[in-house]
């Protein structure tokens, strides 16, 4: 009985965390940082920053699974950078999706 009473509180808290705005990376005074200069790469296209790539991965996962991403982490999986996205469905189920940071493909 006690578990049933705790579940709505956890779901509510997860919703509040997902709705909490986050701060972007502060501007850097170091122009030699890769991806921070805003200059196009050799292909003529501007490189996508890791924040933009993470935002795109979150957006795709939320659309695909009709759920909210409530937590994001970065990890290395099989030697490749990856994003770990924790999702919460409308019916209260939680699971983790692993996304390759470079390609955007799920593992």
CATH of the domain at 4: 3.10.450
* Residue 70 binned pLDDT confidence (cut-offs 50, 70, 90): very high
- pLDDT tens-digit map of 21-67: 444 444 444 444 444 444 444 554 455 688 999 999 999 999 999 99
Do the domain assignments include residue 31? no
Cβ atoms 63, 85 nearer than 8 A? no
pLDDT of 92:
96
Compare 85 and 50 and report the one with higher pLDDT.
85
Q: What is the pLDDT of residue 5?
A: 54
Give the separation between CA 13 and CA 23, rounded to whole angstroms. Answer: 20
Residue with tokens 């196009």: 40
Residue-range definition of the domain harbouring residue 77: 1-21+48-107
Strands (E), the chain: 67-77, 80-89, 94-100
- Residue 78 located in a structural domain: yes
SS3 content of the chain, % helix, strand, coil (to 5): 30, 30, 40
Predicted local confidence at residue 58, as pLDDT: 97
Q: How many domains does the chain have?
A: 1
26 occurs within a structural domain: no
pLDDT on residue 49? 83
């Amino acid at each position: 009985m006690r578990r049933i009473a705790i579940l709505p509180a956890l779901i509510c808290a997860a919703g509040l965390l997902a709705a909490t705005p986050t701060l972007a990376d502060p501007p850097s005074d170091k122009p030699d940082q890769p991806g921070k200069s805003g200059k196009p790469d050799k292909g003529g296209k501007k490189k996508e920053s890791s924040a933009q790539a993470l935002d795109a991965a979150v957006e795709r996962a939320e659309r695909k699974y009709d759920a909210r991403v409530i937590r994001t982490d970065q990890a290395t999986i099989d030697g490749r950078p990856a994003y770990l996205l924790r999702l919460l469905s409308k019916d209260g189920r939680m699971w983790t999706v692993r996304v390759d940071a470079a390609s955007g493909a799920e593992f």
